[in-house]
Amino acid sequence: MKEINPEKLKAGSNLEKVLVSGQFACTGEIGPPTYASFDVIDKHAEEMRGLVDSINFTDNQTAVVRLSSWAASVHLIQLGLEPNLQMVCRDRNRLAMQSDLLGAYALGVRNVLCLTGDHQAFGNHPGCKGVFDVDSVQLIHMLKRLRDDGCFECGAECKVPPKFFIGCAENPFGDPFEFRAIRLEKKIEAGADFVQTQCILDMERFELFMEKVRERGLHKRAYICAGIMPVKSPRMARYMQTGVPGMLVSEEFCQRLEKAEDPKAEAVEISVEYIKRCQQIEGVAGVHIMAVAWESIVPTIVKKAGLAPRPTF
Amino acid sequence: MIVVENKPVEEILQMIAPYKKILIAGCYGCVTVCLAGGEKEVGLLASQIRMARSKEGNEIEVLEQTVERQCDKEYLLKFQDNAREVEAIVSLACGIGIQYLAEIYEPIPVYPGVNTQFLGANRDIGKWEEFCMACGECVLDKTGGICPIARCSKHLLNGPCGGSQYGKCEVSKDVDCGWHLIYERLKALGQLDKMAEFIPAKNWHRDKGPRKLVKEELTLERD
């Protein structure tokens, strides 16, 4: 474990400390509910307590209206856990984004993950106006300037700048493939401190992506956490293989679930195996477990992968 | 070119239900080229309206006239004689023509006969594709001559989102990913390094409110 110099921390979040100290990070994710209650968040937060370094809250994922990511994040802080606030460019312009982030920071949020967001056509309000005032790279840049230069996007001064640990996503499975590492470099140049990748259901492609990442030295400039998704049914795996844009799912992955007597147990097996493989890949600093609609399985995976208990500071 | 699509006749019949005498105003500009609002379409719509109203036993007189362009006052004034005679006008020009006509002939009501769609190119007979959103700040120099504002579903300026795959947009397999096209073009041009350049947040509207362009050298009035 590397010594942490507190003065060199950008935000001082738990996630940042884990990564800076050189320990293999492990984060979870909760999709906030489509109704006005924290009940599911309470439930999953307790399940994940002590087993993850921070918990992502998705921001109207798949363009479906959900309890807001910042409210969920603040609630998690009240429970004594650390959130990672996801923010997409689809629903807010730069005024609203900066305003929400000032508020989130003032209420204790320290990690932000900047995303473009799924197109509004996918969600439950397909006729809505997608904002996309800034893109994810510009959002990262805006946050870095706010944090490091104390100025808003317009150049005006921000007296108490929010000191966020800035995250971005990258999809090693999108096209054009050759551009994906370049795109990640753009995000790191713009100010991303850490990266959470799209979930890996094709390990070979991910390894190829990491090669490109290492060629550019990106793993030395930002902490890269690999996305892990337990997929509990063969049907879901096939759907992700054919129906989800930007996803690559290997044939081997689908077949393993199809041949398994107990696909749920196999899903856990695969996740654990993938985590262990990721630990062997040079430049991977941690894993981000996205158990979409299966959050309760996260503790099992973390324990089986030998990642529990989590470091404390 | 401004690409428009005809409104369903039923919708137009509803708009003009109270009137006994109307003018259908066509335009020889873009709407003629995209076969939606020229002389021929004016005639076709007029017959459809006459037939429908006659079937109801509620006859209507429909005048027909098409001018060079409805986005120029000079040509709009040519409607003068017919406009004075009617209770309402249906314009088959784009949204610009419809509004300009309404302004000039106030208080005669002017109704839209088309839905104005986009600024596009003619790909093939009967096929148009959006190329430009008239954002007022062209970035085509940075993107190999393919517009990311008009041709990326999310108007992204720094490369494709995570949903781009096999050259297609996440929105639909029928939609090309604008950034994939840009990538291929820049590769062919030997300018792939441009993909790595950071493009800062866009100034979406340089002016306050609707834009105006004045070319002093062309104006007749001098201060």
Among chain A residues, CA nearest to B157? A135
The nearest CA of chain A is from the CA of B99 a distance in Å of 24
Asked whether residue A75 carries a pLDDT value surpassing 80, the answer given is yes
Q: Is A62 on the interface with B (CB under 8 A)?
A: no
pLDDT digits (tens, 9 = 90+) for A149-166: 999 999 999 999 999 999
Nearest to B156 among A135, A182, A190 (CB): A135
pLDDT, mean of residues A87-97: 98
The H-or-E segment that residue B8 falls in is: none
For the record, the structure tokens of A30 come out as 């909760």
Burial environment of residue B98 by CB neighbours within 10 A (0 to 12, 13 to 18, 19 or more): buried
For tokens 């430009």, name the residue: B132
Contact partners, residue A4, CB within 8 Å, separation at least 6: A17, A20, A21, A313
CA angle A251, A254, A259 (to 5 degrees): 115
Whether residues B158 and A121 touch (CB distance < 8 A) is answered with: no
B180 contacts in A (CB within 8 Å)? 175-176
Whether residues B201 and A138 touch (CB distance < 8 A) is answered with: yes
b/e burial code for range A286-308 (CB count within 10 A of at least 16 → b): bbbbbbbeebebbbbbbebbebe
Q: Pairing state of beta strands A223-228 and A284-289?
A: parallel
The rounded distance, in Å, linking the Cα atoms of A169 and A196 is 5
The rounded distance, in Å, linking the Cα atoms of B197 and A183 is 10
A245 contacts in B (CB within 8 Å)? 163-165, 168-170
A183 contacts in B (CB within 8 Å)? 158-160
Mean pLDDT rounded to a whole number for chain A? 97
Whether residues B201 and A142 touch (CB distance < 8 A) is answered with: yes
Among chain A residues, CA nearest to B183? A176
For tokens 């921390």, name the residue: A9
Name residue A195's beta-bridge partners.
A168, A224
CATH architecture of B2-118: 3-Layer(aba) Sandwich (3.40)
Whether residues A174 and B163 touch (CB distance < 8 A) is answered with: yes
The nearest CA of chain A is from the CA of B139 a distance in Å of 15
The rounded distance, in Å, linking the Cα atoms of A267 and A250 is 14
Cα→Cα distances A208→A255, B123, B208, Å: 22, 38, 49
pLDDT, mean of residues A243-266: 95
Nearest to A246 among B158, B165, B198 (CB): B165
Whether residues B204 and A137 touch (CB distance < 8 A) is answered with: no
Whether residues B156 and A174 touch (CB distance < 8 A) is answered with: no
Nearest to A190 among B169, B180, B198 (CB): B198
Mean pLDDT rounded to a whole number for chain B? 95
CA angle B208, B212, B217 (to 5 degrees): 135
Q: Model pTM?
A: 0.95
Residue B207: pLDDT band with limits 50, 70, 90: low
Whether residues A176 and B183 touch (CB distance < 8 A) is answered with: yes
Q: Which of A9, A132, A123, A137 is nearest to A58 (CA)?
A: A123
Q: Is A128 on the interface with B (CB under 8 A)?
A: no
Residue B222: pLDDT band with limits 50, 70, 90: low
> What are the domain boundaries of chain A?
6-231+274-299
Following DSSP, what letter does each residue of chain A receive, concatenated? -PPP-GGG-SS--HHHHHHHTT--EEEEEEPPPSSS--HHHHHHHHHHTTT-S-EEE-SSGGG---S-HHHHHHHHHHTT--EEEEEESSS--HHHHHHHHHHHHHTT--EEEEE----GGGSS-TTS----SS-HHHHHHHHHIIIII-B-TTS-B-SS----EEEEEE-TTSSSHHHHHHHHHHHHHHT--EEEEEE-B-HHHHHHHHHHHHHTTGGGTSEEEEEE-----HHHHHHHHHHSTT--B-HHHHHHHHH-SSHHHHHHHHHHHHHHHHHHSTTEEEEEE--TT-GGGHHHHHHHTT-PSPP--
The rounded distance, in Å, linking the Cα atoms of B91 and B83 is 12
A108 and A81 Cβ atoms separated by less than 8 Å: no
Residue A205: pLDDT band with limits 50, 70, 90: very high
B204 contacts in A (CB within 8 Å)? 133
> What are the domain boundaries of chain B?
2-118, 133-196
CATH architecture of A6-231+274-299: Alpha-Beta Barrel (3.20)
Q: Which of A253, A232, A229 is nearest to A241 (CA)?
A: A253
Phi then psi dihedrals of residue B161, to 5 deg: -80, -175
The H-or-E segment that residue B212 falls in is: none
Phi then psi dihedrals of residue A41, to 5 deg: -65, -45
Say which DSSP state B153 is in. T
Asked whether residue B72 carries a pLDDT value surpassing 60, the answer given is yes
pLDDT digits (tens, 9 = 90+) for A290-304: 999 899 999 999 999
A142 contacts in B (CB within 8 Å)? 201
Nearest to A133 among B160, B196, B204 (CB): B204
Among chain A residues, CA nearest to B165? A175
Name the amino acid, one letter, at A211: E
A132 contacts in B (CB within 8 Å)? 154-156
ipTM value, please give it. Answer: 0.94
Asked whether residue A19 carries a pLDDT value surpassing 70, the answer given is yes
The rounded distance, in Å, linking the Cα atoms of A233 and A223 is 31
B146 contacts in A (CB within 8 Å)? none
A31 and A292 Cβ atoms separated by less than 8 Å: yes
Q: Is A216 on the interface with B (CB under 8 A)?
A: no
Q: Which of A33, A40, A134 is nearest to A93 (CA)?
A: A134
Q: Is A276 on the interface with B (CB under 8 A)?
A: no
A186 contacts in B (CB within 8 Å)? 158-159, 196, 198
A105 and A163 Cβ atoms separated by less than 8 Å: yes
b/e burial code for range B26-62 (CB count within 10 A of at least 16 → b): bbbbbbbebebbbeebbeebbeebeeebeeeeeebeb
Q: Pairing state of beta strands B61-67 and B2-6?
A: unpaired
Amino acid B212: pLDDT:
86
pLDDT, mean of residues B139-164: 97
Asked whether residue B223 carries a pLDDT value surpassing 90, the answer given is no
Amino acid B220: pLDDT:
78
**In chain B, which residues touch A (CB < 8 A)?**
153-171, 177, 180, 183-184, 195-196, 198-202, 204
